[in-house]
Copies of this chain bind each other. A is one copy, B any other.
């Protein structure tokens, strides 16, 4: 059979010789592959595509490996966005309460996803305290320090060098166009807003640029191909960036807006008719950004924190009365980390959904002849750990110690043999959980073999099924094995889990729902 480009296919070989299975990082350089590489043999079966390469390497591509992942990619161009006008938010802004945002992963996903898709979201009820904006940024990324500091205060300053720190109205603009890399996210947290005026406005710069493209394609093209000198100077800074107002990706999709007349330095690269055309295009684009139907207006009150995409949204404010008192604190952060946080959160929630489904499905099956189901057994173990006041990682280890018995395709677990189900579970869990969870799970079978040696009366506590599997698992440890085991870093935790394991087989005890453990599990995952 024919294969696609051999270098492409080989570059995607998923084997552990070619890649680190945890990060997906490749262990080879493209130049390490020989010239004239070909597939010597290739065949497809129900498990996927098998290739023997001319250099002797063998690859196996599991069925579906090349299906595009849902929501993959960086979502940074207009194609990854929902372009909007003000009326699209007639029923309300994308917003969440700070405490729900912190406690409920679905709320967090909704907020971060709104920032990525619509360019902004508002958190309500963030404590109106100084420096709190940094805590908001810390929930999804890293603060970007600039010459304005780790954070900046937006309020009236005597003798302000920067226009932001006056009481004047400010037309829609992006911040820091004179920086490259520009801060891709901005946060504004309202501490006080008793002033008459001082309302906030947002305009979707991608939408404005798309309108310009529709209405005047030549103006659009000119703004997209003309690097503009942006500059900011004060006593301790002299920042300069030369980039177009409308940044396109190599295929012509809108990817970045820099729009701030305050900081445009003298454009010296055009003259004559080109300069005339440029200023006409610039004024036309500026006029679009001022259309009332594009401008979303709202008022930030104390405790509100606006998070927005500074590569896309233009922000504005109305003039205000100095006397009233208006104080925002702002900081910058970056979209890449926000997107990463969102992806990890989604991945974690999906993994918990899978686990919950497995507990409800396969988990309802019998558990090696015990009087409880597999799910009841694990839920009881988790409950025993919780009741004992164990640290969250041990509660999770107790709850999940036997997931290696699940065959569920959702989990993509290989069927664990009795000897291996601890490893199988720990390997899968290591994609989501730290070693404090995974290693006690990995060691819960050896812990039984250890206890039977270390504690003479332990064997008597085993259920008949557990006695049976002990034999399959290698029987009690030799004294040397037991000594080595006890010296390992997670041995004590594994022994603790093991005791809950033995005790969690009581048909008379009620079991908690899996859902009760979800917040604890999610916390451990991040």
The residues of A with any CB-CB pair to B shorter than 8 Å are 4-5, 7-8, 11-12, 20, 22-31, 33, 66, 68, 72-74, 76, 142-147, 161-163, 168, 171, 178-182, 184, 224-227, 229, 231-244, 248-251, 261-268, 271, 275-276, 278-279, 282-283, 286-287, 290, 334-337, 339-340, 343-344, 347, 430-434, 525-526
Contact = CB atoms under 8 A, between A and B. Distances in A.
Which among A11, A25, A66, A181 has the highest number of chain B CB atoms within 10 Å? A25
Contacts of A4: 271, 275
A267 to B, nearest CB: 7
A238 B344 contact: yes
A24 B231 contact: yes
Contacts of A265: 24, 72
A238 to B, nearest CB: 4
B233 A171 contact: no
A207 to B, nearest CB: 17
A180 B336 contact: yes
A336 B29 contact: no
B237 A225 contact: no
A150 B37 CA distance: 42
A76 B179 CA distance: 12
Contact of A143 (B26, B145, B226, B433): B145
A180 B182 CA distance: 10
A229 B334 contact: no
Contact of A11 (B180, B237, B264): B264
The 8 A-B residue pairs whose C-beta atoms are closest, nearest first, are A181-B181, A142-B145, A238-B343, A7-B279, A31-B286, A225-B250, A29-B171, A25-B262
Contacts of A276: 5
A235 B432 contact: yes
A24 B233 contact: yes
Contacts of A431: 235
A237 B340 contact: yes
A241 B163 contact: no
A22 B73 contact: no
A364 to B, nearest CB: 30
A434 B181 CA distance: 28
A385 B251 CA distance: 64
A5 B261 contact: no
Given A227-B251, A235-B434, A434-B235, A68 B268 contact: yes
Given A180-B335, A181-B334, 19 more contacts: A8-B267, A12-B266, A20-B161, A23-B162, A23-B232, A24-B231, A29-B261, A30-B279, A30-B283, A33-B283, A72-B265, A73-B229, A74-B229, A142-B145, A181-B184, A227-B251, A235-B430, A235-B525, A237-B340
A231 to B, nearest CB: 7
A261 B20 CA distance: 13
